[in-house]
Structure 1
Amino acid sequence: MVQSVAVVTGSSRGLGRGIARALGTGGFKVYLTGRNQEELESAAAEINAAGGVGVGVVCDHRDDEAVKALFERVDKESGRLDILVNNAAAVYPADLSAPGPFWEKPLHLVDMIDVGLRSNYVAAYAAAPLMIATGGGLIAHISFYGAVSYFHGPAYGAAKAGTDKMAFDMAADLRPHNVASVSIWPGFILSDMLKSLPKEHLPPALVERLPTFEAPEFTGKVIERLWQDPQRMQFTGETLIAAEEGERYDIKDLDGKQPLSYASSMGSPKNRFHIPQDES
């Protein structure tokens, strides 16, 4: 039996690491990328322990040649690519959440347009020929509600809104090749790091909300189920809320809860983009 192959960018920690774990649990061979060798080895070991195959690859997604080499390695070693999860992003949490307008915050916040939006494009550019040769697949770009509502300021919002539109436009080019391209909005994530922090060190309001946060594996389970769906091409080009897709597929979080959709309070992706009709 041929083993399915996934690449999850930015997966040495946080959401990407959880997505990689979920795919590994599903039996995938998962290539994980990041800049920290030790963290990548640890994340790959988790996948191996779960019954999959984890391969950590040190890759700086600012470096187009390194990204090209990544997918050449995947092709050489595995000969196929079924899922690409574009999760890598240059995020500076303390600076993002600091009060004040964008011009009073560090200029490096704009880096997420480079490692986030642009790096998604480059990874998909390198991955697409391999996915087409595989005969189909799924590119899932990680985005967030900040694409349609104010969240962490204009650099964050531009990166996320651009990701959604890029996923839509890529879908138009990839549709004839049976490769789906979607943007996915996870909810608020209970990351490994957040779980490890003593609750007395966290703001009381955050501690109160933690039970509603979702495990990072949840988004990975949604992505895997979408890839398995024989009707997945019906969803290509769409921006999907992971919680709503989880409900549609009857996927629960690791603790058994149904994660929350924040569409009513933070905005919805529905009906933003339009495919022109042939008027000839």
Structure 2
Amino acid sequence: MTKTLQGKVALVAGATRGAGRGIATELGAAGATVYVTGRSTRGQRSEMDRVETVEETAELVTAAGGQGIPVRVDHLVPDEVKALVERIDREQGQLDVLVNNIWGGDLLFRWDAKIWEHPIDAGMRLLRLAVDTHIITSHFALPLVIRRPGGLVVEVTDGTADYNKDHYRISLYYDLAKTSVTRLAFAQAKELATYGATALSLTPGWLRSEMMLEHYGVAEANWRDALGGQPHFAISESPAYVGRAVAALAADPHVHRWNGESLSSGQLAGVYGYTDVDGSRPDAWRYVVEVQDAGKPADTTGYR
């Protein structure tokens, strides 16, 4: 990849694993300096109790060609987020790209549990992790983002606005979390427009995250072995795919055309011409509507 983001500074909030790690790495591949945050470090794990760490993500950023800087931050703690932004300002004097990817709710939601059946403490914790963290981070980071024209804010969610408005997503808490993030992007777009900055929401498709691969008992190298049990997994994409979407957006001098929009990795691949690691261009959300939700047999012909 050419160094289209040389001299740019990014913060990927929630970069320990999954989409956040893929986004941080691809921003690094484009030459950016990337601050990667999360609660899991080599010395301390978060409540997710996973092996991935922010240090590993930072090392991947640097190996890809950028500069990765790991910082342990709990984005529910305003003082920690404030200190992070002050550090970025002190060390870099700028922040060109803010990616709000904080999530951490995988262990908290219950599939198909009605609101009165779902443990309320878990549901409210999920909303705090998925929504409050984004608001707190934007509160402190946006004054630095708007210091120079052309700043970009990417709110990472699950599902496009068009898909989510017509589909109930797993549970009330999950549904509310993911639709709220899209609305956060829309609201920030209205507030940032006069400062020459852009805010948008972005969703990957069926993401081959570390947890998803483990769920199917496969690795990235042999992920297709999972198709026997779940044929529609054929439309899945690596974390690099959504990462390349963010890198393309950050390098686009006309990115403001997307201000306030809800976008997907597959949609943007058709615009910017990037591919997934296998050279394909999966268009997961179109596939989900036209094939999976329509009850048709798995067939990715014309969708990747």
Give the TM interval when normalised to the shorter protein: 0.7 to 0.9
Residues 41 and 54 in structure 2, CA contact (< 8 A), matched pair in contact too: yes
Which residue of 183, 188, 191 corresponds with 2:206? 188
Aligned to 1:76: 90
What is the CA distance between 1:118 and its match in structure 2?
Answer: 1.8
Query: Is the helix fraction higher in 1 or 2?
Result: 1
> Identity over aligned residues, as a percent?
31
Aligned-partner Cα distance in 2 for 1:106–1:204: 34
Aligned-partner Cα distance in 1 for 2:142–2:136: 10
**Partner of 1:256: helix, strand, or coil?**
coil
Point out where structure 2 has 5 or more consecutive residues left out of the alignment.
43-52, 291-304
Residues 165-244 of structure 1: pairs in structure 2 closer than 5 A: 165-195=183-213, 198-199=217-218, 204-206=228-230, 208-244=231-267
Residue 68 of structure 2 is aligned to residue 54 of structure 1: yes
Aligned to 2:116: 103
Q: 1:122 to 1:147 in 2, by over 3 A?
A: farther
Residues 20 and 47 in structure 1, CA contact (< 8 A), matched pair in contact too: yes
**Partner of 1:101: helix, strand, or coil?**
coil
Instruction: Give the AA of the match of 1:45.
Output: E
Residues 235 and 287 in structure 2, CA contact (< 8 A), matched pair in contact too: no
Deviates more, 1:142-151 or 1:80-89: 142-151
**Partner of 1:37: helix, strand, or coil?**
coil
Point out where structure 1 has 5 or more consecutive residues left out of the alignment.
268-280
Which residue of 23, 30, 34 corresponds with 1:26? 30
Aligned-partner Cα distance in 1 for 2:180–2:190: 16
Q: Considering only aligned residues, what root-mean-square deviation do their CA atoms show, in Å?
A: 2.4
Residues 149 and 196 in structure 2, CA contact (< 8 A), matched pair in contact too: yes
Residues 240-259 of structure 1: pairs in structure 2 closer than 5 A: 240-259=263-282
Instruction: Give the AA of the match of 1:214.
Output: E
What is the CA distance between 1:147 and its match in structure 2?
Answer: 3.6
**Partner of 2:146: helix, strand, or coil?**
helix
Deviates more, 1:256-265 or 1:64-73: 256-265
Q: TM-score w.r.t. structure 2 length?
A: 0.80
Q: TM-score w.r.t. structure 1 length?
A: 0.87
**Partner of 1:240: helix, strand, or coil?**
strand
Deviates more, 1:124-133 or 1:258-267: 258-267
Residues 154 and 200 in structure 2, CA contact (< 8 A), matched pair in contact too: yes
What is the CA distance between 1:192 and its match in structure 2?
Answer: 3.3
What is the CA distance between 1:152 and its match in structure 2?
Answer: 1.7
Aligned residues: 265
**Partner of 1:43: helix, strand, or coil?**
helix
Instruction: Give the AA of the match of 2:241.
Output: F
